[in-house]
Amino acid sequence: METLEIEVHPNSKLSKNSLHRIRTAGQAREVDKITREERQDGMMLGMEAMQLHGNWPSNPAVQIEVTQHYSNIPFDPDGLACVVAPYIDGLVDAGVMEDDSPKIVMAYVLRVQKVKRKIENKTIIKIIALDELTNVN
């Protein structure tokens, strides 16, 4: 199975809890701006990862694995999914996968891993190309 990996540093303002507070405070434009920027970053990182890989399959079924390395408090699972969503959309824009729907994404795994220092905080998004579509429609 082929694998692509990108390292990102998502903005906590895109977590589910923060989004609710920001939208209530009328700051939706700020959220839209951050979302656009992170989607663009995801696309650029995806294109770079495919170029480095050199032989990424076209339109594979995939498994997405997200690991947050945190030093203080991790995101809860739905918050982690929210903050990486623009990056995953950017990976779709880059052509890493055709779509991020259940038709293409066979599994979506969220993990957290404690690190000792804040400087080690990061989030790794790994895309694993699967040999065949195994989803039941």
Q: Would you call 123 helix, strand, or coil by DSSP?
A: strand
Sites in the chain below the pLDDT cut of 50: 135-137
Give the pLDDT confidence score for residue 24 in this predicted structure.
63
DSSP 16: H
Residue with tokens 């959220």: 31
Angle at alpha carbon of residue 46, lines to 44 and 51, rounded to 5°: 95
* pTM (predicted TM-score): 0.88
CA proximity to 80, closest of 111, 119, 43? 111
Give the pLDDT confidence score for residue 69 in this predicted structure.
98
Domain locations in the chain as residue ranges: 3-129
Select 3-129's CATH number: 3.30.1330, 1.10.3470, 3.30.1490, 3.40.120: 3.30.1330
CB atoms within 10 A of CB 125: 24
Give the pLDDT confidence score for residue 25 in this predicted structure.
60
Give the pLDDT confidence score for residue 113 in this predicted structure.
97
Give the sign of the dihedral formed by CA 86, CA 88, CA 92, CA 94. positive
Give the pLDDT confidence score for residue 58 in this predicted structure.
84
Give the pLDDT confidence score for residue 19 in this predicted structure.
62
Q: What is the pLDDT of residues 68-95, one digit of tens each?
A: 999 999 999 999 999 999 999 999 999 9
Identify whether the C-beta of residue 6 lies closer than 8 Å to the C-beta of residue 42: yes
